[in-house]
């Protein structure tokens, strides 16, 4: 078994054990190598790190708080057989500028784009959070920005389309395939194949060909580094368990990675269980998929028996993706992270519970992690602590949540 606590991954070929790599047309190899080299230079450059830190502090609003959730903990206790539950603590990424963790990565990559002399960035987006974070970074740094978004997602997330356009980004609606995140990703890769001389593709999650999974993980690891310090300062201890939702897996990788060597800290990733465990009804490749190649890397993927990408479903557009980052595949096989899944209904319940008990409307993505954290805390002791990555706020989801809640109240036809 590979060493699950290795911090030297990925290797020079971009592999996390058997996963990762760069399965891309030769046309992209030069651009990926240039990016890997530029990133390697940047991360060794104290001036780059200072500029990034300052941007994260002044503009993004870091560090984000570590916050106890007393009434959510009470709710968990009320569901416990013993009447007690582990304390639920929140890492408040919802308080980042633009409302989600995505901006940690886009500010880092946009700084990298400037350092590489690029004048334009492109991005794919599903729910629109990464698109908004990319548009924000571009506006702040004077880069032009095109965001690819499936036309189905653009319809569902109209508010974020408006936000992107307000900040000067062009939103290009994608009508191919399923008209969602995977198709937007295809289009962004296609754009980059012809534009890499002027353009950096800022991928939104820990997916895609090397070096993207590494770069995005590193920029998102600020979440886990801060959280780990805050835990030690606040409790003089580490959490017993860290829980995060997993679509592509960037918020999870960001909070897990700095805890990966802490053997006493259990790490739990929560995928989107959707409507059912039937193919096409969920978006949980780690639970129901198998190793394969999608968007340039080897990882768990939802494909049919012929290698075609499968349909996926989740109530949350940000988790509605048939692949997952290769490092998660590695952590799964190595047994370092336990992955589970939570369905639409349970996520919606947690969305309501969080709003009612803590005065925080969470993103539907994050609600999957919260649902599992409540259940988990109910099986633990009151002197234990569960840390949840509250990866984003739910303003973008209120229309969709209202629609789902209303549908629930109607008797089945």
Partner 1 sequence: MTRIDDAFTDVRAARAAGRAPSRGVLAPFVVAGRPSLAALPDMLVAMERAGAGIVEIGIPFSDPIADGPVIAGAMHKALLDGVTPHTALEAIGAARDRVKMGLVAMVSVSIVQRLGAAAFCRECAAAGLDGVIFPDAPLEEAPRFTEPAREAGLDAVLLVAPSSPPERAAEIASMCSGFVYMLARAGLTGEREGAPDAAALRERVHAARAASGLPVACGFGISRPEHVRAILRQADADAAIVGSALVRRIEDGIGRGEDGAHAASAFVAELAAGLD
- State the residues that interact with partner 1 by CB under 8 A: 13, 21-27, 29-31, 176-177, 182-183, 186, 189-190, 193-194, 292-296, 298, 303, 305-309
* Cβ at position 24, least distance to partner 1 in Å: 6
* Cβ at position 30, least distance to partner 1 in Å: 4
Provide the 8-state DSSP code for 289. -
Q: Which is nearer to partner 1, 78 or 119 (CB)?
A: 119
φ, ψ dihedrals at 114, nearest 5°: -65, -45
Going by their DSSP bridges, the two strands 385-390 and 87-92 should be labelled as parallel
Tell me how far apart the alpha carbons of residues 267 and 261 are, in angstroms, rounded to a whole number: 11
Given the residues 332, 367, 391, 400, the one annotated as active site: 391
* Residue 178 known to be catalytic: no
* Residue 410 known to be catalytic: no
Q: Which is nearer to partner 1, 295 or 396 (CB)?
A: 295
With contact defined as beta carbons under 8 Å apart, do 248 and 323 qualify?
A: yes
Give the CA angle between residues 184, 187, 190 to the nearest 5°. 155
Tell me how far apart the alpha carbons of residues 62 and 65 are, in angstroms, rounded to a whole number: 8
* Residue 391 known to be catalytic: yes
Going by their DSSP bridges, the two strands 290-294 and 297-301 should be labelled as antiparallel
* Cβ at position 196, least distance to partner 1 in Å: 8
* Cβ at position 29, least distance to partner 1 in Å: 5
Residue indicated by tokens 């209904």: 345
Tell me how far apart the alpha carbons of residues 380 and 377 are, in angstroms, rounded to a whole number: 5
With contact defined as beta carbons under 8 Å apart, do 89 and 387 qualify?
A: yes
* Cβ at position 151, least distance to partner 1 in Å: 14
* Cβ at position 213, least distance to partner 1 in Å: 15
Tell me how far apart the alpha carbons of residues 177 and 256 are, in angstroms, rounded to a whole number: 33
Tell me how far apart the alpha carbons of residues 407 and 344 are, in angstroms, rounded to a whole number: 13
* Cβ at position 293, least distance to partner 1 in Å: 4
Sorted by sequence, the CB contacts under 8 Å of residue 309 that are 6+ apart come out as 182, 294, 301, 302, 303, 322
Q: Which is nearer to partner 1, 190 or 403 (CB)?
A: 190
* Cβ at position 297, least distance to partner 1 in Å: 10
Q: Which is nearer to partner 1, 89 or 212 (CB)?
A: 212
With contact defined as beta carbons under 8 Å apart, do 324 and 248 qualify?
A: yes
Provide the 8-state DSSP code for 14. S
Sheet holding 66-68, edge to edge: 66-68, 87-92, 385-390, 241-245, 266-274, 337-343
Q: Which is nearer to partner 1, 108 or 248 (CB)?
A: 248
Given the residues 124, 152, 271, 358, the one annotated as active site: 124
Sheet holding 290-294, edge to edge: 15-16, 19-20, 297-301, 290-294
Q: Which is nearer to partner 1, 5 or 27 (CB)?
A: 27
Tell me how far apart the alpha carbons of residues 362 and 313 are, in angstroms, rounded to a whole number: 20
The token pair at 314 is 């989740």
Angle between helices 102-115 and 26-43 (to 10 degrees): 100
**Which positions are catalytic?**
102, 124, 391
């Amino acid at each position: 078994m590979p060493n699950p606590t290795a911090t030297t991954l990925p290797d020079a070929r971009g592999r996390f054990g058997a996963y990762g790599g760069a399965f891309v047309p030769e046309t992209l190899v030069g651009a990926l190598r240039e990016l890997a080299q530029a990133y390697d230079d940047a991360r060794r450059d104290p001036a780059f790190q200072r500029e990034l830190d300052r941007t994260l502090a002044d503009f993004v609003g870091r560090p984000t708080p570590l916050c106890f959730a007393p009434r959510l903990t009470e709710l968990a206790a009320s569901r416990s057989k013993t009447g007690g539950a582990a304390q639920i603590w929140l890492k408040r990424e919802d308080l980042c500028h633009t409302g989600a963790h995505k901006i940690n990565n886009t500010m880092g990559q946009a700084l990298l784009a400037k350092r590489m002399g690029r004048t334009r960035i492109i991005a794919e987006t599903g729910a629109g959070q990464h698109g908004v974070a990319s548009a924000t970074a571009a506006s702040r740094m004077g880069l032009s920005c095109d965001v690819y978004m499936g036309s189905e997602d653009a319809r569902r997330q109209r508010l974020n389309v408006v936000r992107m356009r307000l900040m000067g980004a062009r939103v290009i609606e994608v009508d191919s395939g399923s008209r969602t995140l995977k198709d937007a990703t295809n289009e962004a890769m296609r754009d980059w194949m012809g534009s890499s001389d002027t353009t950096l593709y800022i991928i939104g999650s820990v997916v895609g060909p090397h070096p993207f999974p590494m770069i995005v993980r590193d920029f998102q690891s600020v979440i886990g580094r801060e959280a780990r310090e805050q835990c030690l300062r606040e409790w003089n201890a580490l959490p017993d368990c860290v829980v995060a939702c997993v679509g592509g897996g960037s918020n999870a990788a960001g909070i897990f990675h700095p805890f990966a060597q802490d053997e006493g800290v259990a790490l739990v990733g929560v995928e989107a269980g959707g409507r059912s465990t039937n193919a096409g009804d969920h978006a949980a490749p780690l639970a129901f998929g198998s190793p394969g190649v999608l968007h340039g890397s080897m990882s768990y993927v939802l494909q049919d028996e012929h290698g075609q990408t499968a349909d996926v479903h989740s109530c949350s557009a940000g988790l509605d993706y048939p692949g997952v980052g290769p490092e998660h595949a590695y952590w799964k096989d190595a047994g370092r992270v336990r992955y589970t899944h939570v369905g639409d209904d349970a996520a919606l319940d947690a969305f309501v519970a969080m709003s009612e008990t803590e005065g925080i409307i969470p993103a539907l993505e994050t609600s999957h992690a919260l649902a599992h954290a409540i259940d988990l805390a109910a099986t633990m002791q009151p002197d234990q602590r569960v840390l949840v990555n509250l990866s984003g706020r739910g303003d973008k989801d209120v229309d969709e949540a209202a629609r789902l809640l209303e549908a629930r109240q109607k008797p089945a036809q």
